[in-house]
Structure 1
Amino acid sequence: MIACIVVATTLVTAFGSSKKAGDALSVLAPVGRLVPASPPRPQIVAVHGALRIQLPVAQAALTAIGYHATSDGAVGLQPVGRRGNEGFLSHLFHRVFGGGHSGVVYYQLGGGPGPPTASLDVGAATGTDVYAPVDGTVVGLTDYVVSGRVFGVRIDVQPTNAPSMVVSVAPVHPDPSLTVGSSLAASRSKIGSVVDLSGVERLALARYTRDAGNHVSIVVRPSPGAQLALP
């Protein structure tokens, strides 16, 4: 049975209050049409200890990547790539001493309590296929509710190489074959498609894309069992 989770929209910093034009853009997918369905090439976009988070959408479908804080117990992720909106001194340091230029471009989205890289937002057009970001097993399917309406689900995955953690992906229209207990292969197992939240939220990622900024968010938390085991 699918449980239900209510999203407190005033606390989610992935949602911006306004959109600004003229900001730097990453390499974007074509606007107004879906990229032909295909799995992404394996590409690590974030890490946490031994856990490797793979890009969950095809590279050609990616519109932007952003990070923001969240106060729901998620751990901070280490981005793999270069920050596109870094400050002048950081930019100068990287130019002089090198480093920070491999991987995808990502953006820091707003502030708030918690680690500033706790939520990884991967932008793609509505309906884009979403694939598992890690090898693992589905341990939860929870309704994703905004303003009293259900917008897909949150998919919780127990990673094979980090069983004390839970990787959550949301919001996603789940693949019909997906159930609790399903085994997933990173970059190969389709778990669903991108949901359209643009009608109910102003999405902060839109500042760096040419579209409404729809995306899936990936967060990593200690599993409930691991938390109970702590002294």
Structure 2
Amino acid sequence: MLVVVVGLALGMLLVTAFGKSPAPLVPQPLPPPATRLLPAGPPSPLTVALHGGLRIQLPIPQSRVTAIGYHAVSDGALALTPLGHQGNEGALSRLAHKLFGGGHGRFVYYQLNGGETDVLDVGAAPGTDVYAPVDGTVIGISDYILDGQPYGSRIDIQPSAAPSLVVSLTQLTPDPALTVGSTIAASSTKIGRVIDLSGVEHQALARYTQDAGNHVSVELRPAATLALP
């Protein structure tokens, strides 16, 4: 009798997972244009990714986030563990989560260009304030190079909780008050603003936003392998 009940439950889940398409996920709308660049204040502390014991906090105010995505990179970045719920997971993953639990969270992220999680992209309109994703010390501010040209800056942070690692943010302009040696606090120290790269490259995050997909990128590397500009 137990086998029959389990079989019926599994059959119903298979029909749910494969018999019809899931309800579409609606991206968070952008703020009205007149208020989009008004100061929103720092984000409420929210851990969006982990690497071991290191917590990566949301670097953009919640009201300004357009989408969150992860993708691969070929230059030695360490994999992050996303928190939240994947909005574009496959049918088999949805079925597994229904059977065994998991895969749920307070916010949605998207997997971009494959299944890797080396880079965290947090979408926001150009000019949006960016805040520190970790407590730590700024150890580098340099040009962000794309196709041989500088676009904004790269900010390297040594996190207090993991001094053997470096957290790097790109696709932003640094705050004028930020210097090498600055001590920063997660979710409270403003470190820069998002830049507009829509005229330079197609941004994969745009598939899940209502704009060009501009964003700030966050990567994690061992300190010994940090590439110099």
TM range (shorter): 0.7 to 0.9
Change (3 A) 1:153 1:77: same
Measured in 2, the distance between the counterparts of 1:152 and 1:202 equals: 17
Measured in 2, the distance between the counterparts of 1:180 and 1:36 equals: 25
Q: Which moved more, 1:164-173 or 1:92-101?
A: 92-101
Q: Which moved more, 1:42-51 or 1:89-98?
A: 89-98
Q: Deviations over 1:23-73 (max 9, x none)?
A: 744323326433533100000000000100000010000000000001111
RMSD of aligned alpha carbons: 1.9
Moved over 4 A (4+): none
Residue 225 (structure 1) shift: 7.5
Residue 86 (structure 1) shift: 0.2
Q: Which moved more, 1:63-72 or 1:93-102?
A: 93-102
**AA partner of residue 31 (structure 2):** P
Is structure 2 residue 53 aligned with structure 1 residue 80?
no
Residue 92 (structure 1) shift: 1.8
Q: Deviations over 1:193-231 (max 9, x none)?
A: 0010001111000000000000011000000179xxxxx
Measured in 1, the distance between the counterparts of 2:98 and 2:150 equals: 46
Measured in 1, the distance between the counterparts of 2:88 and 2:43 equals: 25
How many residues are paired up? Answer: 202
Measured in 2, the distance between the counterparts of 1:150 and 1:79 equals: 29
Residue 135 (structure 1) shift: 0.2
Percent identity reads: 61
Aligned partner of 1:198 in structure 2 is 198
Is structure 2 residue 28 aligned with structure 1 residue 27?
yes
Measured in 2, the distance between the counterparts of 1:202 and 1:187 equals: 29
Residue 165 (structure 1) shift: 0.2
Residue 156 (structure 1) shift: 0.3
Preserved contact between residue 84 and residue 106 of structure 1 (Cα < 8 Å): yes
Write out aligned runs for 1:151-170 (5 A).
Answer: 151-170=151-170
Larger relative CO (CA 8 A, sep 6+): 1 or 2?
Answer: 1
Q: Which consecutive residues of structure 1, in runs of 5 or more, have no partner in the other structure?
A: 1-22, 227-231
Change (3 A) 1:71 1:81: same
Write out aligned runs for 1:119-134 (5 A).
Answer: 119-134=119-134
For residue 60 of structure 1, give the secondary structure of its aligned residue in structure 2.
helix
**Highest CA radius of gyration, 1 or 2?**
2
Write out aligned runs for 1:56-135 (5 A).
Answer: 56-111=59-114, 116-135=116-135
For residue 48 of structure 2, give the secondary structure of its aligned residue in structure 1.
strand
Decide which structure has greater helix share.
2
For residue 181 of structure 1, give the secondary structure of its aligned residue in structure 2.
coil
**AA partner of residue 42 (structure 1):** P
Change (3 A) 1:68 1:200: same
Give the TM-score, by structure 2 length: 0.83
Q: Which consecutive residues of structure 2, in runs of 5 or more, have no partner in the other structure?
A: 1-23
